[in-house]
């Protein structure tokens, strides 16, 4: 029998220091070894108790969570899961924490100071278990932290894309996407749709953050948004997203269907739609993340003639999602994060040699053949 994951809970709320351990210790594979009321006490407890994982509130007196996280990242190299306030301020602090090296986060319910905190119990337990099995956290690439913004032209031509690039991503996703998008040029000829497993209320700020560090345009998706060259659409939390063929360039539709693979949004829903609608003009990318969401949908894209790409294990925070697709035989190429922007640009630029006004709509979406860029 494997040893339980040893967890330290750091939160300035006495009620949270009581409720979170109660939730975690319902799972026999987790042992809460201690609690701390702020970052300063938390650092002392790390030295004393040697936990495997830390859960961390960010808003605390004396030493807040961000300052504690900086010390952990520099000295202890422990995986940290942020327990974040479900607010705009909480979202902003959470993205800073992820940029500093936090493993992942869970969002407290709006009425977090109640028994409804148990609603996030299963998610928190799953992330703690995964974090406890993961190598020491690191930032393999430079992550944008808000010190600079990309200056863009106030308007951009509405150009149909050459390819529809569908990306599925989860744990480790915010940093990985910030790096990827910062590497794409303003004239990127494809259109990108992103499903990032993230709670409702966080994705709008996340999309704005991506837009600020990117030369392409990034926004949270709304039903009817067009698929345009140089545009990325991020699916809102708690909605599914599908791509549809429509003149002149295709569009996205948001839906409130049941959870798929335990998720809404689900990567499988997105991948199956781009396979059906765009076939050989679809590129599916599975990046860092927990679970198996997207593996079967990636198989549909491959069967329809599209290109399928998995992020390499060594550049993932968690490799479960890419590995699930690789093990099923659904992946054409395995690409490190540092090379992914170049691969996508090359893939989407193939159509530029073809004098077609609207490449993604110029052929049947089922089984259309692409030149080999694999």
pLDDT digits (tens, 9 = 90+) for 246-285: 988 899 999 999 999 999 999 999 999 999 999 999 999 9
CATH number at residue 287: 3.40.50.180
Q: 314 lies in a domain?
A: yes
Q: In terms of DSSP bridges, do strands 104-107 and 164-169 run parallel, antiparallel, or are they unpaired?
A: unpaired
Q: Under 8 Å CB-to-CB from 19, ≥6 apart: which residues?
A: 115, 117, 118
Largest CA distance in the chain: 67
- Please indicate, yes or no, whether residues 193 and 328 belong to a single structural domain of this protein: yes
Residue bearing the bigger pLDDT, 103 or 356: 103
Q: In terms of DSSP bridges, do strands 251-255 and 240-244 run parallel, antiparallel, or are they unpaired?
A: antiparallel
Q: 354 lies in a domain?
A: yes
Instruction: Residue 121: count other Cβ atoms within 10 Å of its Cβ.
Output: 17
For residue 365, cis peptide bond before it (omega within 30 degrees of 0): no
**Mean pLDDT lowest among 130-134, 181-185, 235-239, 322-326:** 130-134
Is the pLDDT at 136 greater than 60? The verdict is no
Say if residues 69 and 56 touch (Cβ distance below 8 Å). Answer: yes
- Please indicate, yes or no, whether residues 209 and 327 belong to a single structural domain of this protein: yes
- Please indicate, yes or no, whether residues 201 and 121 belong to a single structural domain of this protein: no
Q: 238 lies in a domain?
A: yes
Confidence (pLDDT) at 354? 45
Confidence (pLDDT) at 370? 33
Say if residues 335 and 343 touch (Cβ distance below 8 Å). Answer: yes
- Please indicate, yes or no, whether residues 104 and 175 belong to a single structural domain of this protein: no
- Please indicate, yes or no, whether residues 179 and 88 belong to a single structural domain of this protein: no
18/265 Cα distance (integer angstroms): 32
Q: 158 lies in a domain?
A: no
Q: 187 lies in a domain?
A: yes
> pLDDT tens digits for 34-57?
999 999 999 999 999 999 999 999
245/46 Cα distance (integer angstroms): 54
User: How far is Cα of residue 247 from the mean position of the Cα atoms in its chain?
Assistant: 30
Q: Residue 176's closest CA among 132, 210, 146? A: 210
CATH number at residue 118: 3.40.50.2300
What positions carry a catalytic annotation?
A: 170, 197, 293
SS in 3 state form for 34-62?
EEECCHHHHHHHHHHHCCCEEEECCCCCC
**Residue ending a domain, choose from 109, 132, 155:** 132
Q: What 3-state DSSP class applies to 206? A: helix
Number of domains in the chain: 2
Q: 124 lies in a domain?
A: yes
Q: Evaluate if pTM is beyond 0.75.
A: yes
Q: Under 8 Å CB-to-CB from 236, ≥6 apart: which residues?
A: 200, 203, 204, 220, 221, 254, 265
Distance (Å) of CA 232 to CA 127, 161, 180, 356: 28, 11, 12, 22
Q: 72 lies in a domain?
A: yes
- Please indicate, yes or no, whether residues 73 and 190 belong to a single structural domain of this protein: no
Confidence (pLDDT) at 84? 86
**Mean pLDDT lowest among 45-59, 75-89, 352-366:** 352-366
**Residue ending a domain, choose from 90, 110, 132:** 132
Confidence (pLDDT) at 361? 53
313: exposed, middle or buried (C-beta count within 10 Å: 0-12, 13-18, 19+)? middle
Alpha helices per DSSP H over the chain: 14-24, 39-49, 65-71, 88-100, 121-132, 173-183, 203-212, 267-278, 295-303, 320-327, 337-349
Rounded percentage of the chain residues whose pLDDT exceeds 90: 74
Q: Which domain holds residue 218?
A: 164-361
- Please indicate, yes or no, whether residues 38 and 179 belong to a single structural domain of this protein: no
- Please indicate, yes or no, whether residues 184 and 111 belong to a single structural domain of this protein: no
Q: 92-112: b or e for each residue (b if 16 or more CB lie within 10 Å)?
A: bbbbbbbbbbbbbbbbbeeeb
Q: 153 lies in a domain?
A: no
């Amino acid at each position: 029998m494997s040893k339980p994951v040893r967890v330290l809970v750091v939160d300035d709320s006495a009620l949270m220091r009581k409720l979170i351990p109660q939730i975690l210790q319902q799972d026999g594979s987790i042992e809460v070894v201690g609690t701390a009321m702020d970052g300063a006490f938390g650092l002392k407890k790390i030295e004393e108790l040697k936990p495997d994982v830390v859960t961390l509130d960010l808003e605390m007196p004396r030493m807040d969570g961000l300052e504690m996280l900086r010390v952990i990242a520099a000295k202890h190299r422990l995986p940290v899961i942020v327990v974040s306030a479900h607010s705009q301020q909480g979202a902003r602090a959470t993205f800073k924490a992820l940029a500093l090296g936090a493993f992942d986060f869970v969002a407290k319910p709006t009425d977090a100071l109640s028994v409804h905190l148990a609603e996030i119990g299963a998610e928190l337990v799953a992330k703690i278990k995964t974090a406890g099995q993961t190598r020491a956290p690191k930032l393999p690439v430079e992550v944008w932290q808000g010190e600079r913004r990309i200056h863009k032209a106030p308007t951009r031509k509405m150009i149909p894309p050459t390819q529809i690039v569908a990306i599925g991503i989860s744990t480790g996703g915010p940093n990985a996407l910030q790096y990827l998008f910062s590497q794409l040029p303003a004239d990127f000829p494809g259109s990108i749709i992103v499903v990032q497993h993230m709670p409702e209320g966080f994705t709008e700020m996340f999309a704005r953050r991506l837009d600020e560090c990117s030369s392409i345009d990034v926004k949270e998706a709304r039903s009817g948004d067009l698929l345009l060259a140089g545009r990325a659409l991020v699916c809102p939390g708690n909605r599914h997203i599908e791509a549809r063929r429509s003149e002149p360039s295709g569009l996205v539709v948001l839906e409130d269907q049941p959870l798929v693979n335990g998720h809404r949004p689900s990567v499988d829903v997105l991948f199956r739609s781009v396979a059906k609608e765009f076939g050989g003009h679809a590129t599916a990318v599975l990046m860092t993340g927990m679970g198996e969401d997207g593996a079967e949908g990636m198989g549909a894209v491959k069967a329809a003639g599209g290109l399928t790409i998995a992020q390499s294990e060594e550049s993932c925070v968690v490799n479960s999602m890419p590995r699930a697709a690789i093990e099923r035989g659904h992946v054409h190429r395995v690409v490190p994060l540092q090379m992914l922007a170049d691969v996508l640009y090359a893939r989407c630029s193939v159509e530029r040699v073809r004098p077609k006004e609207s490449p993604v709509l110029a052929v049947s979406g089922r089984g259309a053949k692409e030149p080999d860029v694999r």
